[in-house]
Amino acid sequence: MSAGEGRNGAVIEGTTGPWEIVIGIEVHAQVSSRAKLFSGAATAFGAEPNSQVSLVDAAMPGMLPVINEYCVEQAVRTGLGLKAQINRVSVFDRKNYFYPDLPAGYQISQYKSPIVGEGEILIDMPGGETIRVGIERLHLEQDAGKSLHDQHPSLSYVDLNRAGVALMEIVSRPDMRSAEEAAAYVRKLRAILRYLGTCDGNMEQGSMRADVNVSVRRPGAPYGTRCEIKNVNSLRFIQQAVEYEARRQVDVIEAGGTIRQETRLFDSRKGETRSMRSKEEAHDYRYFPDPDLLPLELDLAFIETIRASLPELPDAKRARFMRDFGLSAYDAGVMVSEKETADYFEAVSKGRDAKAAANWIMGDLFAHLNKAGLEISASPVSADNLGRMLDLIADGTISGRIAKDVFVIMVETGGDPARIVDERGLRQVTDSSAIEAAVDAVIAENAAKVEELKTKPTMLGWFVGQVMKKTGGKANPQAVNEVLKAKLAHVLGG
């Protein structure tokens, strides 16, 4: 395992030598609460404009915030899931700035005393390396509303439905060194949040957004000046944005320029980042403790109750899958990458060959789901049915080869594998006379190949294939093998 310092990440080869990319990420994760952080208005996605707005959210005169206890609980839960320090006392501050989608003229956030302090996330890279990314803090804050700029030639429209929705801002250390690591970090964080149930991780709907801080430096040199790419909303875009931005910075520096610290946005259509002119004005947020709220104090019992209710998280689950099921590190990592996948795997593998289960899931099932663009939760093949199919293979009812066909039918029909096998007559042939007949026929038809077999015993596999073909794949390959060996013993010199 390695932390950010002194590790070799991806290197950009510039015209003047190699450059190292340094990445830190702030993720805004929407707490999956029914009501907002400081008001009783709903948080559901896609409602009519300003229909989920309370007087508090609209910052009407005299309105006051009262905190949603569930959001506090979820922040603590997330902190514990990130193996982080939970701060027994935290403070809500006002971050003051004017913007039409910020009705009060300030955002309630946590500045000096966040609810959660330092923690960490481990990410497993495909190469087998495990990287530790430090978590600097997690704090609770309000989301802003939404301004629509394209509805009218001279007006912007303001919808406050999102205003006041609870966000957890999770700030990493600058411990990532490549675009892949950045995407892997967000993927892992999202998995942890989903395991915990504290955020649905839905990036398309904006429940999770990443602000990506990118800088470049000579390997081992002090940090360079960073640029912050705001609100990147997919894993692929994070990767593209980092790649583009790092390259841009190297080009600027190598052309004799300097990097200016600024906020940039990622244009996903063009695949590039560009400066946000309106944000260039120097900010002075005038943070101070919100006098409408008291410090948030957590008692130990509250924290311990939450700790006791934590589910098994990806890292622990992965270790267990390796230990109990003998999965490889890579396979186990894939199986735990999403809670739904892990649950599916556990359902399929229960009392069965876990490796076979993992192979079917990672192979045929994922191939199908990817092609169809489906989440595993929407898989047409239920864990139950896939498990029963494995049983049919194990008890010799079907061969592995036939199972592939059965699986395709299961994908199409969602049907029960035993029924599919019965209805379509796919039951494996174990009757030795039928196999013997097929073997005899193949030997008779391929005298030349039989000759070859004398000098090349590995040719036997070819004969097995031919027999299988002749039986429509239904013969038991084990039995075919045995019969072939017996009938060809004279050639094989056994």
Site for another protein in 436-455 (CB under 8 A): none
Query: Which C-beta is closer to Mg ion: that of 26 or that of 346?
Result: 26
Q: Using CB under 8 A, which residues numbered 248 to 307 contact another protein?
A: 276, 278, 284, 286-297
* Four-point Cα dihedral 101, 102, 103, 105, nearest 10: -140
Of 67, 235, 437, 460, which lies in the binding site for another protein, with binding defined by CB under 8 A? 67
Least Cβ distance, residue 26 to Mg ion (angstroms): 5
Comparing CB distances to another protein, the nearer of 124 and 228 is 228
Which helix (DSSP H) or strand (DSSP E) does residue 120 occupy?
strand 119-124
**Looking at beta carbons only, is 3 or 148 nearer to another protein?**
148
Measured from the Cβ of residue 138, the count of other Cβ atoms closer than 10 Å reads 27
Strands 130-142 and 119-124, sheet pairing: antiparallel
Q: Is 125 in the site for another protein (CB under 8 A)?
A: no
Applying CB under 5 A, which residues contact Zn ion?
Answer: 169
Task: Tell me the closest approach of the beta carbon of residue 87 to another protein, in angstroms.
Answer: 14
Torsions phi, psi for 385 (to 5 deg): -65, -40
**Contact of 223 with 215, CB cutoff 8 Å:** yes
Q: Is 58 in the site for another protein (CB under 8 A)?
A: yes
CB of 136 to Mg ion, least distance (A): 11
Please write down the long-range contacts of 328-337, taking CB distance under 8 Å and 24 or more positions apart.
329/124, 329/128, 330/126, 330/128, 331/355, 331/358, 331/362, 333/124, 334/358, 334/362, 335/361, 335/362, 336/191, 337/187, 337/191
Alpha-carbon distance values, 109 to 100, 198, 203, 277 (Å): 18, 18, 22, 25
Q: Which is closer to Mg ion, CB of 28 or CB of 36? A: 28
Check: CB of residue 271 under 8 Å from CB of residue 245.
no
Q: How far apart are CA 31 and CA 312, in angstroms?
A: 20
Query: Residue 6 contacts by C-beta under 8 Å, 6 or more apart in sequence?
Result: 220
Q: Tokens 């929705």 — which residue?
A: 165
Binds another protein by CB under 8 A, chosen from 10, 42, 347, 437: 42
46 touching another protein, by CB under 8 A:
no
Q: Which is nearer to Mg ion, 242 or 467 (CB)?
A: 242
* Rounded Cα distance, 246 and 252, in Å: 10
> Minimum CB separation from another protein for residue 138, in Å?
18
Around Cβ 437, how many Cβ atoms within 10 Å?
Answer: 14
Q: Which of residues 84-123 bind another protein (CB under 8 A)?
A: 91, 94, 96, 98-100, 103-106
- HSE of 122 in the Cβ direction (CA atoms, 13 Å)? 14
Nearest to 134 by CA among 94, 185, 92, 91: 185
Cα–Cα distance, 10 to 197 (Å, whole number): 33
Q: C-beta of 170: minimal distance to Mg ion in Å?
A: 10
Kindly tell me which of 38 and 407 has the beta carbon lying closer to another protein. Answer: 38
Angstrom distance (rounded) from CA 4 to CA 21 = 11
Residue choice 6, 62, 351, 425 for contact with another protein (CB under 8 A): 62
Q: How far is the CB of 291 from Zn ion (least distance, A)?
A: 21
Contacts of 336 (CB under 8 A, 6+ apart): 191, 314, 315, 317, 318, 321, 342
From Mg ion, Zn ion, another protein, none, interface partner of 225 (C-beta below 5 to 8 A by class):
none
Q: Which is nearer to Mg ion, 170 or 393 (CB)?
A: 170
Please choose which of another protein, Mg ion, Zn ion, none residue 263 contacts, taking the beta carbon within 5 to 8 angstroms, the exact cut-off set by kind.
none
Q: Which is nearer to Mg ion, 15 or 98 (CB)?
A: 98
Nearest distance from residue 145's CB to Mg ion, in Å? 17
Compute the least distance from the CB of residue 107 to Zn ion, in Å: 8
Site map (CB under 8 A) of another protein, residues 138-157, x = contact: ---------xxx-xxxxxxx
64, 221, 394, 489: which one binds another protein (CB under 8 A): 64
The nearer residue to another protein, 297 or 422, going by C-beta atoms, is 297
Q: Which residues of the chain form contacts with Mg ion (CB under 5 A)? A: 26
Name the residue nearer to another protein (CB basis): 50 or 85.
Answer: 50
- Judged by CB under 8 A, which of 124, 136, 143, 159 binds another protein? 159
**Residues sharing a CB contact under 8 Å with residue 99, sequence separation 6 or more, in sequence order:** 144, 147
| Residues within the interface to another protein (CB under 8 A) | 33-35, 39-42, 48-72, 91, 94, 96, 98-100, 103-106, 147-149, 151-160, 276, 278, 284, 286-297
